[in-house]
Amino acid sequence: MEIKVLGPGCAKCQKTEQVVKEAVAESGIDAQVVKVTDTMEIAKSGVFGTPAVIVDGQVKAVGKVPSKQDVLKWIKK
Amino acid sequence: MAEECCVSGGNIMILSCSGGSNVGQLANQAAVELTQEGFGKIYCLAGVGGRLPGFVQSAKDVDQLIVIDGCEMACGRATLLEAEVPIRDYLVVTRLGIEKNHDFNLKREDVDRVKSAAKTSVLASPSREAGA
**What residues pair up with B67 in beta bridges, in sequence order?**
B15, B90
Nearest residue to B26 via CA among B79, B77, B100, B121: B100
- A61–B2 C-beta distance less than 8 A: no
Identify which of A8, A45, A63 has the shortest CB distance to residue B7.
A63
The pLDDT of residue B129 is 63
CB atoms within 10 A of CB A5: 24
Give residue-wise pLDDT tens across range B9-36.
358 999 999 999 999 999 999 999 999 9
The enclosing domain of A72 has a CATH number of: 3.40.30.10
Note down the domain range covering A45: 2-76
Please give the class, per CATH, of domain B12-119: alpha beta
Task: Say which residue, A40 or B6, is predicted with more confidence.
Answer: A40
Q: Where are the domains of chain B?
A: 12-119
- A46–B61 C-beta distance less than 8 A: no
Report the C-alpha gap between A61 and A28 in whole angstroms. 22
- Per-residue pLDDT band for B6 (boundaries 50, 70, 90) equals low
| Strands ordered across the beta sheet of A32-36 | A32-36, A2-6, A52-55, A58-62
Give residue-wise pLDDT tens across range B68-120.
999 999 999 999 999 999 999 999 999 999 999 999 999 999 999 999 999 99
Q: With 80 as the cut, is the pLDDT of residue B132 above it?
A: no
The pLDDT of residue B10 is 52
Domains held by chain A: number? 1
Report the C-alpha gap between B37 and B46 in whole angstroms. 23
Q: With 70 as the cut, is the pLDDT of residue B4 above it?
A: no
**Phi, psi at B5, each rounded to 5°:** -80, 140
Mean pLDDT over each residue of chain B, to the nearest integer: 91
pTM of the full structure: 0.88
Q: Does A25 touch chain B (CB under 8 A)?
A: no
Identify which of A10, A45, A57 has the shortest CB distance to residue B5.
A10
Give residue-wise pLDDT tens across range A16-74.
999 999 999 999 999 999 999 999 999 999 999 999 999 999 999 999 999 999 999 99
- B6–A47 C-beta distance less than 8 A: no
Give CA angle at B18 (B15, B19), nearest 5°: 135
The pLDDT of residue A12 is 94
Q: With 80 as the cut, is the pLDDT of residue B130 above it?
A: no
The nearest alpha carbon in chain A to B63 belongs to A63
Helix (H) or strand (E) holding B65: strand B64-69
The pLDDT of residue A9 is 87
Q: With 90 as the cut, is the pLDDT of residue B51 above it?
A: yes
| Strands ordered across the beta sheet of B41-42 | B41-42, B12-16, B64-69, B89-92
ipTM (interface pTM): 0.85
Nearest residue to A15 via CA among A4, A5, A25: A5
